[in-house]
Amino acid sequence: MNPAPNLVLVGPMGAGKSSIGRRLAGRFGLDFVDADREIEARTGASIPTIFECEGETGFRAREAATLAELLARDGLVVATGGGAVLDAGSRRQMRERGFVVHLQVSLARQLERLARDRSRPLLAGDDRADVLRRLTETRAPLYAEVADLCFDTNNLFPPQATEQLARLLDARWTRAAPTQTDLQGSPA
148 in a known ligand binding site? no
In 3-state terms, the chain is what percent helix, strand and coil (to 5)?
55, 15, 30
Burial of 180 (0-12, 13-18, 19+ CB in 10 A): exposed
Strands 7-10 and 76-79: parallel
Cα diameter, the chain: 51
19 in a known ligand binding site? yes
36 in a known ligand binding site? yes
Helix (H, G, I), strand (E, B) or coil at 178: coil
DSSP 70: H
Angle at alpha carbon of residue 146, lines to 159 and 68, rounded to 5°? 90
55 in a known ligand binding site? no
**CB 126 within 8 Å of CB 35:** no
16 in a known ligand binding site? yes
17 in a known ligand binding site? yes
18 in a known ligand binding site? yes
15 in a known ligand binding site? yes
- Which residues carry a binding-site annotation? 14-19, 36, 60, 82, 120, 139
- Which residues carry a binding-site annotation for Mg(2+)? 18
- Which residues carry a binding-site annotation for substrate? 36, 60, 82, 139
- Which residues carry a binding-site annotation for ATP? 14-19, 120
